[in-house]
């Protein structure tokens, strides 16, 4: 059984690493903050001293970091993965970053005889804890075949969608759909509430029809409870939509609805709500209509 390195123990990374330990994998972990490293080490992992140290001790290295700059620093920077990794190893970046950044990092690693997969996830903290994430993978078939069982510990579905970068293109598509779903749900429920109709009953009436969605089922109970604890933070969804806009602009693809939802999220960030769950998008509409969607 391969020894796995795990770099990035945040809201998502920490439970993902713990699931690998529960499945019996030997794990070396690293984060810039000592507290989560110590916590995961108490459950059986070994503590790494740097990304370079983790890479030198493992055959498969997983990164789960906030955005492209952090992944580049952890992999290509001083004391980065590239300085310790051995030929024949595999890097699996499970962060949600720009597809072109994945391609750039992969090209650098290829010079050392290392294969890379970009494998972003969807499902938020609850599914990270349960090990039921949706994992979208780009990269060589050989590398995918080698680590599919590892990814299967963290995800209910693991799908290779194409070459390097295509995992993150798929994630951007996912994030556009999720953002627009939450915005539509927010508009609709604020309208229903302002009209004097119980939003919980509206939810129950429409969830089994064409308007029903996994997004609605996940976010509507939180909205009704006024619970905007992440989950998936608005500031991270802003990052994903900015990556989507950059990628779309480079490809010559207009995405006007995404840009509108991005601006709504930016307004909430200015209002001090950046760390709210993205279901908190409803607060923008509530403020406009002077009504709250609650049970």
169-289 CATH fold: 1.10.1040
- To the nearest whole percent, how much of the chain has pLDDT over 70? 100
**Per residue in 149-204, pLDDT tens?**
999 999 999 999 999 999 999 999 999 999 999 999 999 999 999 999 999 999 99
Q: Note whether 264 and 284 are within 8 A (CB).
A: yes
For residue 185, what are the contacts with CB-CB under 8 A and spacing of at least 6?
Answer: 215, 216, 219, 220, 223, 282
pLDDT digits (tens, 9 = 90+) for 99-125: 999 999 999 999 999 999 999 999 888
Could you confirm whether domain 4-163 is CATH 3.90.1170.30?
no
Tell me the pLDDT band of 259, cut-offs 50, 70 and 90.
very high
The secondary structure of residue 233, as a DSSP letter, is B
Place of tokens 């309208």: 191
Asked if the domains at 4-163 and 169-289 fall in one CATH topology, the answer is no
Query: Which residues are known to be catalytic?
Result: 171
Residue ranges of domains in the chain:
4-163, 169-289
> Comparing C-alpha atoms, which of 121, 110, 109 is closest to residue 83?
109
How far is CA 272 from each of CA 12, 219, 275, 294, rounded to the nearest angstrom?
Answer: 22, 20, 8, 21
């Amino acid at each position: 059984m391969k020894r796995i390195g795990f770099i990035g123990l945040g809201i998502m990374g920490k439970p993902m690493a713990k699931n690998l330990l529960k499945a019996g994998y030997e794990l070396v972990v690293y984060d810039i903050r000592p507290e989560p490293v110590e916590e995961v080490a108490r459950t059986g992992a070994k503590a790494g001293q740097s990304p370079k140290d983790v890479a030198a001790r493992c055959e498969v290295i997983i990164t789960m970091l906030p955005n492209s700059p952090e992944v580049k620093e952890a992999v290509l920077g001083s004391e980065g993965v590239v300085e310790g990794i051995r030929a024949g190893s595999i890097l699996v970046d499970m962060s949600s970053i720009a597809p072109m950044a994945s391609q750039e990092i992969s090209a650098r690693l290829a010079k050392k005889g290392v294969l890379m997969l970009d494998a972003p996830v969807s499902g938020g903290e609850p599914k990270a804890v349960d090990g039921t994430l949706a994992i979208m993978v780009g990269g060589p078939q050989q590398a995918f075949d080698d680590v599919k069982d590892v990814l299967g510990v963290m995800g209910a579905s693991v799908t290779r969608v194409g070459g390097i970068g295509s995992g993150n293109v798929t994630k951007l598509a996912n994030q556009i759909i999720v953002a627009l779903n939450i915005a539509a749900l927010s508009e609709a429920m604020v309208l229903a509430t302002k009209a004097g109709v119980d939003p919980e009953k509206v939810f129950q009436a429409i969830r089994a029809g064409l308007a029903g969605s996994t997004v609605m089922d996940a976010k509507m109970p939180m909205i009704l409870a006024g619970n905007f604890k992440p989950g998936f933070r608005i500031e991270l969804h802003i990052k994903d939509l900015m990556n989507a806009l950059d990628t779309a602009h480079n490809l010559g693809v207009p995405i006007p609805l995404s840009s509108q939802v991005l601006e709504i999220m930016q307004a909430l960030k200015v209002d001090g709500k950046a760390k709210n769950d993205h279901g908190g998008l409803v607060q923008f509409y509530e403020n406009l209509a002077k009504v709250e969607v609650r049970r």
